[in-house]
Amino acid sequence: MPSGSTRPSTSGLLLDLVRTAGTLSRVELAEATGLTAGTITNVMRDLIQGGLVHEVGRSPSARGTPRRLIQINPEAGFAVGAQLDRCTSTIVLVDFAGRTLATARLPGAGQNSPQHTLDTLAEHIDGLLSGAAVARDRVLGVGLVTHGPQDRARGTLLTTQPAPSWREYPLTRALSATLALPVLLENDATAAAIGEQWAGDVPTATFGVIYMASGIGGGVVVDGEVYRGRASNTIEIGHVSMDSEGAPCACGNRGCLEAIAGPSAIVAQALQDRALIARVPLSGEEDQTLADFERLARASLSGDTAAHGLIARSAHQLGLAAVTLVNLFDLDTIVLAGSAFSSAGPQYREQVARALSEYALSRELSPAKALLSANVETSAAVGGALWVLRSSATGAPGRLALPLLLTP
């Protein structure tokens, strides 16, 4: 197992199977896990007594007595996912069954300090909980989802993005102190992969996500399990060099995908084109990058040739990066997620599909597919909330044994 992964307890594993399936019988759980009927019965008794699952009737059985079906108690607890980047934040509240109850969007970190940003985020989380009439002590925790590289164990960023004050700032400790809730740090692209897997729209258990919001990241799921490497600082596809002699990137490397084809790069290129910005007014402010990019994407959709050309070049580079992902990780499918794909998604998806069919080495064994997420704006936040649920296995809501399960 990847060392950065957190192995669920038996009860956590069974909860997650039931959560994913909707309803399952004890026999099906035994078949799916290889655990003995006795183990399943014991764990289920505890989970029923703890109010985490309940029985919801019987399924017909080929022989013998009908099997009693088990379902998650959606009211057993709640989780928050909060995706944060320079331009936007998205917050979701999910119930114990993983269903999204409420969503909020607010501006991202912008030029604000980490503490101010977290305070604002905390206020909005409180507002979301009030609006949904969920008491804070019924929330298991918050999955704080942002870019990498991260030190997940310490809950800090290891980069000066978006500003030097963010580096090593104790993000999870500070947000946890403000909200009096456990907070887990997760990579945004990894969270998007978890969210896509949860949404169930990806018809394979072995896929990659290219996540584009203010920056570009990636996530990989192999046979249903998130690839974590040594410490979950994985699939930094935005910092794969597309041109080893290219312009220096802030990361120290040259010609990185993000630096030449990310939203900031596209907006910067657009700002050089006076005719284009006469037709499509852009703010040019750094915290407005995604809004500016969205304006360009809509202009491209409306037939603006210059805007279309800029996005086509970016999409071509993203397609080549998708080929790199497939050639290295041997994946079935690449899913595009993240708010930069709100309007531009179809144009990117088409280019990624073309690059995969023309260049991926394994195209003859089995061509990799390109999909556009059905939830480009929320899947990362949902993935962060799901990760909290998966990390919570035993005990009463609000006092679930989170830290026990989350030690990397």
Residues 98-127 that bind a second copy (CB under 8 A): none
**Helix ranges (DSSP H) in 146-220:** 171-179, 188-199
* Binding test (CB under 8 A) with a second copy, winner from 48, 158, 401, 405: 158
Shortest separation between residue 260's beta carbon and a second copy, angstroms: 9
* Binding test (CB under 8 A) with a second copy, winner from 31, 123, 137, 358: 358
SS3 of 45, please? helix
Shortest separation between residue 232's beta carbon and a second copy, angstroms: 7
Q: Residue 219 phi/psi, 5° resolution?
A: -145, 150
Looking at beta carbons only, is 298 or 316 nearer to a second copy?
A: 316
Shortest separation between residue 91's beta carbon and a second copy, angstroms: 27
- Of 35-43, 274-282, 324-332, 342-350: span binding a second copy (CB under 8 A): 324-332
Looking at beta carbons only, is 20 or 327 nearer to a second copy?
A: 327
Binding mask 189-218 for a second copy (x = CB under 8 A): ----------------xx-----------x
- Does position 3 interact with a second copy (CB under 8 A)? The reply is yes
- Does position 280 interact with a second copy (CB under 8 A)? The reply is no
Q: What is the DSSP letter of 173?
A: H
Task: Kindly write down the DSSP assignment for every residue of 133-164, as one continuous string.
Answer: T--GGGEEEEEEEE-SSEETTTTEESS--S-G
Looking at beta carbons only, is 228 or 295 nearer to a second copy?
A: 228
Q: 100: which residues sit within 8 A by CB, 6+ positions away?
A: 92, 93, 94, 378, 382
Dist. CA 368–CA 329, nearest whole Å: 11
Binding mask 217-256 for a second copy (x = CB under 8 A): -x---xx-x-xxxxxxxxxxx-xxxxxxx-----xxx---
SS3 of 69, please? strand
Helix 289-301 with 305-329: angle, nearest 10 deg: 110
Looking at beta carbons only, is 353 or 402 nearer to a second copy?
A: 353
Rg (CA), the chain: 22
Q: Rounded to a whole number, what is the largest CA-CA distance in the chain?
A: 76
Shortest separation between residue 242's beta carbon and a second copy, angstroms: 5
Dist. CA 145–CA 212, nearest whole Å: 14
Residue whose pair of structure tokens reads 């799921």 in the numeric block: 221
Shortest separation between residue 389's beta carbon and a second copy, angstroms: 23
Three-state SS for 108-141 is CCCCCCHHHHHHHHHHHHHHHHHHCCCCHHHEEE
Shortest separation between residue 223's beta carbon and a second copy, angstroms: 5
Binding mask 326-345 for a second copy (x = CB under 8 A): -xxxxxx-------------
- Does position 362 interact with a second copy (CB under 8 A)? The reply is yes
Residues that bind a second copy (CB under 8 A): 1-4, 148-149, 151, 158-159, 205-206, 218, 222-223, 225, 227-237, 239-245, 251-253, 316-317, 320, 323-325, 327-332, 358-359, 361-362, 364-366
